[in-house]
Amino acid sequence: MSAPVADRAPLPQRVSPDGTRPALGVDSDPAAARPAWRHRDQRDAETATLQVSVVVPTYHRPALLRRCLAALLRQDIDPERYEILVADDAASDQTRRQVEALAEALCPCQTGRGGPAIRYVAVRDRHGPAAARNAGWRLARAPIVAFTDDDCVPQPGWLRAGLAALSDGVIGAWGRTIVPLPDHPTDYERDAAGLEDGVFLTANCFYRRDALDVVGGFDERFTAPWREDSDLFFSLLERVAPNDKPGPFVQALDAVVVHPVRPAPWGVSLSQQRKSMFNALLYKKHPRLYRERIQPAPPWRYYASVAALLLALLALLSGSRRGALAGASLWLWLTGRFCAQRLRDTSRDPRHVAEMLVTSALIPPLSIYWRLRGAVTFRVVFL
């Protein structure tokens, strides 16, 4: 693996369904990972055949975790080829008991057939999805690490397709993520469906463990589930991507993960604006890649909306009715246009329409606030 990267990073290549490819603040003591049913001598002997470690971060979601683990146990490869590490960001006794009970149930002395090793990892000190994933992969014993989330459902061929994609010279692969939607989705559901176009989402990706070692894994300053996966991918592009090859990153089209949309409370888009502050951190670390792959320019329409609102308020305070009317009219036009865009091809349920009217007025100032707060927090010029 080479250090320098070309002026433009090599574009990821795709792996077709037939497998061809064109052209720390956590418990770092291995004792923190609860052993599965295998005895120590058995585990040591099987490390040579272990090919992939699956890391699943979780936080007080037992039902979703149960569904995810059930899907991982249905993988169509030999169970001795993979292990599962559940990184519990809450370090809760309930989750520990849940994971250990499942591991015990897979004991070959009870089932007669056994299953993959399942280990529980308690995450302490630093928290967040980035810290939880670091806790998991740093205890992984396999040369390849697969990431998914506790609210995801990997399909039976997921691991097989991911392993096939990581041929010689490939250090990372991302699979195909499917987000089922109803006939008339809400704005929140349609926004979540954008995950289907994501690259190297931590819901569905594979990396060589030594590549994770090179960049130190996930940056734990990303304390929310936002941009930490892009940061890892960008770091690898800048550090280990060869300049003279099509690229060490591929898409495994048959590595399918279904990502159902979780129910969300009314006005959820408002609380999601806090994630915007982590855009500033990603931009600080990778300014060129951020502009090329994430956001070519600042959200000027948000700034225009906030400016129009401020103009209306200042004019009103100064006694200028004409100025206040002009500012208010511009703000109403921008807000109405934004609301119409969000309602296009989405649910017309009155409750949803009311949500769009209210949140369309509040999102621009909230988004700008969190972006600027991120710029101050991470000490970067970022609009």
Q: Model confidence over 15-59: pLDDT tens digits?
A: 333 333 332 223 333 334 433 333 334 444 445 589 999 999 999
Backbone φ, ψ for residue 172 (5° rounding): -155, 145
Direct distance between the N- and C-terminal alpha carbons of the chain, in angstroms, rounded to an integer: 35
* pLDDT beyond 90 at 108: no
More confident residue, 111 or 213: 213
Percent of all residues in the chain with a pLDDT value above 70, rounded to a whole number? 84
- Give start-end residues of each CATH 3.90.550.10 domain in the chain: 13-264
Tokens standing for residue 145: 């690490």
- Better-scored residue on pLDDT, 36 or 68: 68
State mean pLDDT over 366-374: 97
pLDDT at 105: 81
For residues 150 and 58, the answer to whether their CB atoms sit within 8 Å is yes
pLDDT recorded at residue 168: 80
Task: Return the C-alpha torsion angle 163, 169, 171, 174, nearest 10.
Answer: -60
Give start and end residues of each alpha helix (H) in 156-267.
158-165, 187-192, 209-215, 228-240
**Rounded Cα distance, 190 and 114, in Å:** 40
The residue among 20 and 287 whose pLDDT is bigger is: 287
Average pLDDT of span 53-80: 95
Mean pLDDT of 278-283: 97
Bridge partners (DSSP) listed for residue 54: 84, 146
pLDDT at 25: 28
Give rounded-to-5 percent helix, strand, coil for the chain.
Answer: 50, 15, 40
Q: Count CB neighbours of 124 within 10 A.
A: 15
Beta strands in the chain (DSSP E): 13-15, 33-34, 52-58, 82-88, 117-122, 144-147, 153-154, 172-178, 205-208, 249-258
Q: What is this structure's pTM?
A: 0.83
Confidence of residue 8 (pLDDT cuts 50, 70, 90): very low
Separation between Cα atoms, residue 38 and residue 103, nearest integer Å: 9
> CA-CA-CA-CA torsion for 262, 125, 50, 20, nearest 10 degrees?
50
pLDDT at 154 over 60: yes
Q: For the chain, give the mean pLDDT.
A: 86
Considering just the CA atoms, what is the radius of gyration of the chain in Å? 23
pLDDT reading at 246 higher than 80: no
Give the rounded percent of residues in the chain with a pLDDT score beyond 90.
Answer: 78
> What CATH class has 13-264?
alpha beta
pLDDT of residue 344: 94
Three-state SS across 76-138? CCCHHHEEEEEEECCCCHHHHHHHHHHHHHCCHHHHCCCCCEEEEEECCCCCCHHHHHHHHHC
What does the alpha-carbon distance between residue 100 and residue 106 come to, in Å, rounded to a whole number? 10
Give residue 353's pLDDT: 97
Q: What confidence tens digit (pLDDT) does each residue in 109-120 have?
A: 444 456 799 999
- Give me the pLDDT at residue 241, please: 67
Count how many Cα atoms sit within 13 Å of the Cα of residue 218 in the half-sphere of its side chain: 33
- The single residue listed with the structure tokens 């994430």 is 294
